[in-house]
């Protein structure tokens, strides 16, 4: 029996995933997640004060091949001081768009370091 859903696969939201030693089978990352398709992380805000000035910047990022990759990038970027939102529009094996909302503009070196910590991901 096939389960149907109104949400296209490309818009599925990422959930926290744990790494296992089996790999995800996406053909490139070896991350260990089961998700091998396109995914978008939810853009949710941790800020409740709408008067706080926020900045949003989009980065072109290469090296992500699956939803787990996008989750790793999201997690590392969210750990940066001042970051309130991160959303990833995954283009598996291509250049993905990563949008970061933060209290202040982020230094590019901090973004590069977070991408490196997440895995083999680079600004394109």
Q: Give the pTM.
A: 0.64
How does pLDDT run across 90-115, given as a tens digit for each residue?
Answer: 999 999 999 999 999 999 999 999 99
Task: Say how far residue 122 (Cα) sits from the centre of its chain.
Answer: 13
CA-nearest of 66, 68, 55 to 99 is: 55
Residue 18 pLDDT > 90, yes or no? no
Domains defined for the chain, CATH in brackets: 54-124 (3.30.70.100)
Query: What would the pLDDT profile of 44-70 be if each residue is shown by its tens digit?
Result: 445 444 566 899 999 999 999 999 999
**Which among 88, 25, 91, 39 has a CA at the least distance from the CA of 118?**
88
Q: Name the token pair of 60.
A: 């072109």
- pLDDT tens for 41-50 read 444 445 444 5
How many whole angstroms separate alpha carbon 62 and alpha carbon 116? 11
């Amino acid at each position: 029996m096939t389960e149907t859903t109104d949400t296209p696969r490309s818009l599925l939201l990422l959930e926290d995933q744990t790494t296992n030693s089996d790999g995800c089978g996406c053909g490139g990352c070896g991350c260990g997640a089961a998700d091998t398709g396109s995914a978008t992380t939810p853009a949710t805000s941790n800020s409740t004060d709408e008067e706080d000035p926020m900045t949003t910047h989009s980065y072109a990022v290469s090296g992500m091949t699956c939803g787990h990759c996008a989750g790793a990038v999201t997690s590392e970027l969210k750990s940066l001081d001042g970051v309130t939102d991160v959303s990833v529009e995954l283009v598996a094996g291509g250049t993905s768009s990563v949008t970061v909302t933060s209290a202040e503009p982020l230094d590019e070196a901090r973004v590069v370091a977070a991408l490196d910590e997440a895995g083999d991901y680079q600004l394109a």
